Structure 1
C-alpha cells in the first residue's frame, strides 16, 4: 500500500514538474518572441554638412571639435582679399553706370523739350532708348555689387543648425572649395531612436504607442512614442548579378529568419545626467500607458511571477 502511494506521489511530482517546466517554457518563448520589444535599437541624429558658398584659403577656425554652437555662429573664415577687391570693382562700376545714366537721362529730357523742327520724332526715340539702356546697365551694375557684397559676407562660414561640431579636422591654411562640405554639425534637437523589430512583432506596434528605451551605458530609461514604421527595406535578391540576372541566395526550406523592420521613435524625455550620442545601442520596448511592458496574458503572468520571486518592479524593469 505504501509502495503504491509512493509511486503515485512520484508520478504526480514528475507530472507537476513537467507541467511547470512546459508552462514556464511557453511563457519564456512568448515573452522573448511574441511581445513587441527588441535589443536591436540605435540612437540616430540629423547631421548638417556645412559647405562654403565661396572658395578660398581658410585664415581662421573659430570652433573646436565637439564644441556646442548656435545657428548663425561663425565656424571659420575664408581669406576675404579677393572678395574685397571684387566689391571695390563693382562699386566703381556702379558709379560709372550711374554717371552714364544721368547723362543719357539729361540728353533725353533735353531732346524731348525741343520741337519737331529742331529734333525729329525718330531722334527723340533714339535718345529715349539710349536712356533706357543706361538705366538697365545701372541696374545690372547694382546687382553685381550686391552679389559681390554677398560673396564677401560668405567668407564667414556659419552654422546652419544649433548643435555640436563633430569630427573637425580642418586647420588654418586649408583650401575651402565652394559646395564641398568640410564641417559637420550634429543637430542637437533632432535625436531619435530606430528600433529594428522582427516582422512578426510589427502587427502589435502602432503609431503613438508609448516606448521605453534602455541605453546600455545608463540605468535610467528614456521615454518616447512611435512616430512611424518603415514601409520598405532593401531586398538582396533584387540586386542584378552577372548578365543582369537576379542573384538569389539559397535558404533552408524549414528555416526562415524574420526580417528586421525599422520603427522610428521620438524621444519625449531624457533622464538628467544621460548623455546620448548617435550610434548608441538601446533596448526598445513598447509599453502601456502606465509605463509597463505591453504584453499578452502569458507575458503578464511571467511579469507577475518575476515580481513575486524578485520583490518586483511592477513590470517596469526590462530584462536585457
Structure 2
C-alpha cells in the first residue's frame, strides 16, 4: 500500500481534528465562558458644593491635579463672614453684660425681700433667666458665624483627582450648588456587562481577570455583586398611565446584559486607571490561564 494516500488521510484527519478542537474552543470561549468585552472602569466622583455663598477669590488647584484629603481647593471671599464674627462677638459681650446686670439686680432685690414685693423679686428672677437665654443664643450665633467663616475655605474630602474644573477666580459660588468635583483615587472598580446566559457561571467572590484596552498587563479582581435589574423598554407609561408595550416582537431574541461589579485587587505598576476606560473581563479560576485550554481561551478572548 502506498504511503501517500495514508499520509493524506492522516493529514486530513488531523486537520479535521484540529478544526473541531478550535471550533469547540471558540464555542466554549464565546458562548459558554463567563467573559465580556463590554466592561468599564468606574469610580466615585465627589461633587463638592459650598455651604456658604460668595465670590471666589482663589482657586488653588488645576484640572486633573492630584490632591490629598484636606488640601485646599478654593476660597470664597471671607470679608463678610469675618465681619459677621465680629458682630456676633460684640453681641455676646453685650448679652453677657446685660446678664450680669440682671443677676446683680435680682440679688439686691432678694436681699431686700422684706422691703421689696415678692412680685418684683419674681420679675427680676425671670429677667435673669431671659438674659441667660439671650446670652446662650448669642454664643450659638457666634459659633455659626465662625463656622461660616471656616466654610469659606473648601477642602478635598478624599484623596483623588480634580476633574472637569470650570471654576474661576471671580465666579460666584452658590450655597448647595457643586462647583468642583474630585474623583476618589481609592474607589476604582470594574462594571462588566455580562450576557444573561453566562450569569449561571458567575458567583459573588469569584476571581476575575481584567484586560484593559490600552495596557498589556492584566489586572486581578473579584466579583462583589451582581445586578438585580435593568430597564425594560416595555415598562414606560403613556399619558394615561398605561404600559406602552411594543406591538412588534423579534423572533431573534438577544441575551440581555446584566451589570456585574468587580473589585480590583491589584493594579500592576505603570497602569493608569481612568473612569470610563473600556476593558475585557473573564471570571474564573486564577490558575486557569496556565493550562493549555486556559491559554487558548485567553488568546481567543484577547482577539475577539
TM-score (normalizing by structure 1)? 0.86
SS at match of 2:30: helix
Q: CA deviation at 1:149?
A: 0.9
SS at match of 1:173: coil
Task: Check 1:271–1:15 CA distance in 2 against 1; reply closer, same or farther (3 A cut).
Answer: closer
2:162 maps to 1:176: no
Measure the CA separation in 1 of the matches of 2:169 and 2:60: 10
Structure 1 unaligned residues grouped into runs of 5+: 294-299, 308-314
User: 1:258 aligned to 239, 247, 255, which one?
Assistant: 255
Q: What is the CA deviation profile of residues 73-101 of structure 1, one whole-angstrom value per residue up to 9, with x for unaligned ones?
A: 11111111111111111111111111000
Measure the CA separation in 2 of the matches of 1:163 and 1:301: 41
Aligned CA-pair RMSD: 2.6
Measure the CA separation in 1 of the matches of 2:240 and 2:62: 51
Structure 2 unaligned residues grouped into runs of 5+: none
Instruction: Check the 8 A contact 1:38/1:196 in 2, yes or no.
Output: yes
Matched length: 301
Task: Check 1:291–1:224 CA distance in 2 against 1; reply closer, same or farther (3 A cut).
Answer: farther
Task: Check 1:264–1:47 CA distance in 2 against 1; reply closer, same or farther (3 A cut).
Answer: same
Instruction: Check the 8 A contact 2:68/2:158 in 1, yes or no.
Output: yes
User: 2:43 aligned to 26, 37, 45, which one?
Assistant: 45
Instruction: Check the 8 A contact 2:209/2:286 in 1, yes or no.
Output: no
Q: CA deviation at 1:14?
A: 6.7
Q: What is the CA deviation profile of residues 121-143 of structure 1, one whole-angstrom value per residue up to 9, with x for unaligned ones?
A: 22211111100000000000111
Report what 2:228 is aligned to: 231
TM-score (normalizing by structure 2)? 0.91
SS at match of 1:275: coil
Measure the CA separation in 2 of the matches of 1:168 and 1:188: 17
Task: Check 1:217–1:301 CA distance in 2 against 1; reply closer, same or farther (3 A cut).
Answer: closer
Task: Check 1:101–1:317 CA distance in 2 against 1; reply closer, same or farther (3 A cut).
Answer: farther
Q: What is the CA deviation profile of residues 58-87 of structure 1, one whole-angstrom value per residue up to 9, with x for unaligned ones?
A: 111111111111121111111111111111
Q: What is the CA deviation profile of residues 171-210 of structure 1, one whole-angstrom value per residue up to 9, with x for unaligned ones?
A: 1110000000010000000000011110111111111111
Q: CA deviation at 1:17?
A: 5.6
Report what 1:311 is aligned to: none
Task: Check 1:23–1:317 CA distance in 2 against 1; reply closer, same or farther (3 A cut).
Answer: closer
Measure the CA separation in 2 of the matches of 1:203 and 1:195: 15
Report what 1:312 is aligned to: none
User: 1:187 aligned to 175, 179, 184, which one?
Assistant: 184
User: 2:65 aligned to 52, 64, 67, which one?
Assistant: 67
Measure the CA separation in 1 of the matches of 2:13 and 2:239: 60
Measure the CA separation in 1 of the matches of 2:231 and 2:74: 39
Q: Within 5 Å, give how 1:93-242 maps onto structure 2.
A: 93-115=91-113, 117-242=114-239
Measure the CA separation in 2 of the matches of 1:103 and 1:303: 88
Q: CA deviation at 1:49?
A: 0.2
Q: CA deviation at 1:318?
A: 4.8
